[in-house]
Amino acid sequence: MRNQQTKQWVVDNDVDSVLTSTEILEAAQQIIHNHVVAFPTETVYGLGGNAKSDEAITRIFAAKGRPSDNPLIVHIATKDQVEKYVEQIPAKARQLMDAFWPGPLTIVFRHNHTLSTKVTAGLPTVAIRMPDHPVALALIHAADLPIAAPSANRSGRPSPTTAAHVNDDLNGRIAGILDGGPTGVGVESTVVDCSSEDVMILRPGGATKEAIERVIGEITVDPALTQLDEAPRSPGMKYTHYAPTAPLTLVDGDFRYFCEKINDARAEGKKVGALITDEYRGETNATKEVLLGSVNNLSTVAKQLYPSLRSFAEDEVDVIFAQVFPETELGSAIMNRLRKAAGGTVVRQR
Ligand code: TXA
Ligand code: MG
Cβ–ligand 1 distance for 60 under 6 Å, the answer no
Cβ–ligand 1 distance for 74 under 6 Å, the answer no
Amino acid at 17: S
Same domain? For 83 and 204 the reply is: yes
Give the residue with greater pLDDT, 17 vs 161: 161
Residue 227, pLDDT score: 61
Rounded Cα distance, 333 and 260, in Å: 27
Q: What's the pLDDT tens digit per position in 67-93?
A: 888 899 999 999 999 999 999 999 999
Give the number of the atom of ligand 1 that is nearest the alpha carbon of residue 152: 6
* 342 inside domain: yes
| pLDDT range class, residue 46, cuts 50, 70, 90 | very high
| pLDDT range class, residue 193, cuts 50, 70, 90 | very high
Which of 73, 178, 189, 222 to probe ligand 1 with, by most ligand atoms within 8 A of CB? 73
Same domain? For 97 and 206 the reply is: yes
Closest residue to atom 24 of ligand 1, CA basis: 71
Same domain? For 169 and 41 the reply is: yes
CATH of the domain at 340: 3.40.50.11030
> With contact defined as beta carbons under 8 Å apart, do 310 and 153 qualify?
no
Question: Between vectors from CA 312 to CA 257 and to CA 256, what angle results, nearest 5°?
Answer: 10
The HSE-up count of residue 211 (CA atoms within 13 Å, CB side) is 17
Rounded Cα distance, 48 and 52, in Å: 12
Same domain? For 88 and 184 the reply is: yes
How many other CB atoms are there within 10 angstroms of residue 220's CB atom?
11
Instruction: Give per-residue burial for 32-52: e unless 16+ CB within 10 Å, then b.
Output: eebbbbbbbbbbbbbbbbbbb
Same domain? For 214 and 261 the reply is: no
> Under the phi-then-psi rule, with left for phi > 0, alpha for psi from -120 to 50, and beta for the rest, what region is 335?
alpha
Q: How many angstroms does the Cα of residue 177 sit away from the middle of ligand 1? A: 20
Q: Which domain holds residue 51?
A: 7-226
Cβ–ligand 1 distance for 186 under 6 Å, the answer no
Q: What's the pLDDT tens digit per position in 234-245?
A: 333 444 678 888
Same domain? For 222 and 254 the reply is: no
Cβ–ligand 1 distance for 136 under 6 Å, the answer no
- The DSSP code sequence of 166-184 is HHHHHTTTSSEEEE--S-S
Q: What's the pLDDT tens digit per position in 122-155?
A: 999 999 999 999 999 999 999 999 999 999 999 9
Residue 236, pLDDT score: 37
Please name which ligand lies nearest the alpha carbon of 187: 1
pTM: 0.95
Give the number of the atom of ligand 1 that is nearest the alpha carbon of residue 127: 26
